[in-house]
Structure 1
Amino acid sequence: MFALTLFALLITIQVFTIRAEFSSEDCASLGFIKANLLCSSCDQLKDFSLDELVTHCKECCHNDKSAPKEKKYARAILEVCTCKFPAYPQIQAFVKSDRPAKFPNLQIKYVRGLDPVIKLLDKDGIVKDTVAIEKWNTDSVEEFLNTHLVKEEEDDRQYLKTNQI
């Protein structure tokens, strides 16, 4: 009887292990951003002979039909240390270019010793999410900000720029 109960317990554990999805942290350690990964992208890995990544990718992806809507944030703060610019030349290029000017709701903050991160804030100025960007290039940073920051025309205070009440 004990052996049968133990066997049933082991099968139950295996079923839960097989059905368990990876957490956001697990996916990040594998190089996937769970919040933005669509399962159709996983299928494309085979085209590049990356079949061994497909299983992990499928554990981190969202079905295209049920993909969550991109979350928008009112403001963002890109925090970086100038002493680390040589280690992150792409982040330095972004910060020193005219690209940040395209985002009036982006603040660049210099924090000594910090690897580059983007902090995403709600309209009340509360940090809702933090994203490490040390391996990103300038285009990736710009695309991320375009995707996740509220555009000026989407801002509720747009009426202040007109004479409307």
Structure 2
Amino acid sequence: MKNVLMAVFSVLFAIGAQAQILNPVKWSYAAKKVNDKEAVVFLKATIQPGWNIYSQHVEEGGPIPTSFKFTAAKTFSLIGNVIEPNPLSKFEKTFGMNVTYFHNSVVFQQKIKLNAKEAVVKGTLEYMACNDKQCLPPKEIDFSIAVK
């Protein structure tokens, strides 16, 4: 019985350790007022070495593009679309096509018009992370960014 419990504990520990390893992207957020009427929110992905996330502009049949959905609020409105830096591009055998991606880190930016002195920008982002051996399922993350 003791050996069975030890085996079960070892398997659960290994699964838990593997789940921690397979979280290669950490997100952080910030905001900066440009003036009393405008601000920019920043959504930064810090990506572990060997892993990539993908541009917002990926062709059909490729990996899941990074995307952002903002929750409507009376305190702000969006100005334009989310801006991303120039991505890298390479042919990926997995998808049989050229894909645009980011590694190490990337900062996405969204301009907003302020309709109040302060705002909280909320929403959901979705991304997919891959390395040269595997792709993880797409992941959705809720965010909340205070603009003061």
The structure with more strand, counted as a fraction of residues? 2
Q: Which has the higher contact order (CA 8 A, sep 6+)?
A: 2
Output the TM-score relative to the length of structure 2. Answer: 0.30
Output the TM-score relative to the length of structure 1. Answer: 0.28
